[in-house]
Structure 1
């Protein structure tokens, strides 16, 4: 039986309605997906500096693995004596995308040394890190955060910018994993936190640190040798 003009019109109208509904659903799904997956740049409202002192150590490999798995990069302030003894770990730090800084050779109280003694501590560390494949550091952290005009000027002669910290995690003082994560939560754009390569509680805190930073739109950045502040990785 041949279709009437009215039935043909109804069929056409039904098909158009189905097509319109499908198109609207596709548009909604696309919009939702775009909203759910913002660009990496849009997700970073600021950058902070994660810094780990006193490596490389027996904890370094596990620390690097945890940082990689959680999408974090950091500045590793290495002691020269440990860099010289563990060159493969220095290379592993570089391969994992970390930045390498100078933390003196033997971790002395630099302000109690002569200018020549300070120079020896800094220069030997520069050489040890370079020999281990870590490049030539541009950042320097004095042991214990102790510094004066002489320490700063000697570091500057070696092309180093002195970096202290804005937040102390207290991991060196036995802080719990939870306390270390809470300390990271006090970071704001451009600021740095003191952590240590050898701390088991710090290693355990890495996933929590990643979560607390992400919840506040902060990303782990590099420390600018020009300003001493954390910035987007170059």
Structure 2
């Protein structure tokens, strides 16, 4: 007896049962919503890898982001400073799409031939341009061409950045075909990082196969830890769904303490996280106490220095020399409704 003919009645009964359920749902509610998991959330993650794209933002950044989001993954973009300055909307789109943004120098020069002061100026200018465009200051630095020395690493560290090279070179910059890029990426192991580039069609065409290969090996795209430079879980967050529209900006009423006042707004909200901007008035030296609602977690802070209480839910932010406005990114981690509450603002 044919296995096809023997299994057909069973499949037919199952199909009729499914159609019956769907018909009932439509009759009752008028709408049936089918939820499909993204590749990254569907996979069992036994390890994480870092997908990185250098030299952006470019005129092709939007196309790259579309492919990444279609495959349900997040990646790290190592941006060139002058590109970020000249393509601000593309840099903003990277962050809005859930990507992490790193520093890749101002103009992709051979930095090891620079003096220490030149290195400092180059990386500082780049971080400022990226922060101006995206609202977040880079915590990661990738030296152009992978060329580095102890002086460059020291300069990057002084600016609050971890140097990240790569474990696997996709060779996309060297004219690699789609199949070659996919083959190179298949060597990735847990914790490792791969070098790819913005603006290359073959790279975009390879992403779907790269993700499929990772999923087959129970590996998931993750973030690069600023502490270790290795790929880790992205704070338990999933990529923001395509078409996510940020809700209207809201303001958290701030109580005042001492002779200063702190006002918080949420200018950007995405599918898995949101930004909070806090402006302090009435003092140039201050301490702002902010409470979060668990399991939400702050992933990035800029223009301020934070310390945490023992619970890990209350932080005190003080100025770090970058003015009276600071900000931070908070991951929802399953709670999308809560917002940080400012408990006090103390001058001095």
Q: TM-score normalized by structure 2?
A: 0.55
Q: Distance in 2 between matches of 1:134 and 1:199?
A: 27
- Two-structure CA RMSD over aligned residues (Å): 1.6
1:126 is aligned to 2:124: no
Q: Distance in 1 between matches of 2:192 and 2:78?
A: 16
Where does the alignment leave 5 or more consecutive residues of structure 1 unmatched? 1-36
Q: Which residue of 1 aligns with 2:116?
A: 115
Deviation above 6 Å: which 4+ runs of structure 1? none
Q: Distance in 1 between matches of 2:225 and 2:115?
A: 29
Contact 2:105 2:122 in 1 (8 A): yes
Q: Which residue of 2 aligns with 1:200?
A: 201
Q: Which residue of 1 aligns with 2:234?
A: 233
Q: Which residue of 1 aligns with 2:53?
A: 52
Q: Which residue of 1 aligns with 2:98?
A: 97
Local SS of the residue matching 2:188: coil
Q: Distance in 2 between matches of 1:157 and 1:177?
A: 39
Give 1 or 2: higher helix fraction.
Answer: 1
Residue correspondence of structure 1 range 18-97 to structure 2 within 5 A: 40=41, 43-97=44-98
Residues 79-107 of structure 1, C-alpha deviation per residue, up to 9 Å, x if partnerless? 00000001101110001100000000010
Q: Which residue of 2 aligns with 1:30?
A: none
Local SS of the residue matching 1:94: helix
Structure showing greater relative contact order (alpha-carbon pairs closer than 8 Å, 6 or more residues apart):
1
Where does the alignment leave 5 or more consecutive residues of structure 2 unmatched? 1-36, 236-348
Residue correspondence of structure 1 range 6-25 to structure 2 within 5 A: none
Q: Distance in 1 between matches of 2:43 and 2:176?
A: 33
Q: Distance in 2 between matches of 1:200 and 1:120?
A: 33
Local SS of the residue matching 1:76: strand
Task: Report deviation, 1:42.
Answer: 6.6
Contact 2:222 2:233 in 1 (8 A): yes
Task: Report deviation, 1:134.
Answer: 4.5
Local SS of the residue matching 1:130: helix
Number of residues of Structure 1 aligned to a counterpart in Structure 2: 198
Larger Rg: 1
Local SS of the residue matching 2:134: coil
Local SS of the residue matching 2:137: coil
Q: Distance in 2 between matches of 1:174 and 1:42?
A: 31
Task: Report deviation, 1:198.
Answer: 1.4
Q: Which residue of 1 aligns with 2:182?
A: 181
Task: Report deviation, 1:121.
Answer: 1.2
Q: Which residue of 2 aligns with 1:156?
A: 157
Contact 2:43 2:215 in 1 (8 A): no
Q: TM-score normalized by structure 1?
A: 0.82
Local SS of the residue matching 1:132: helix
Contact 1:100 1:134 in 2 (8 A): no
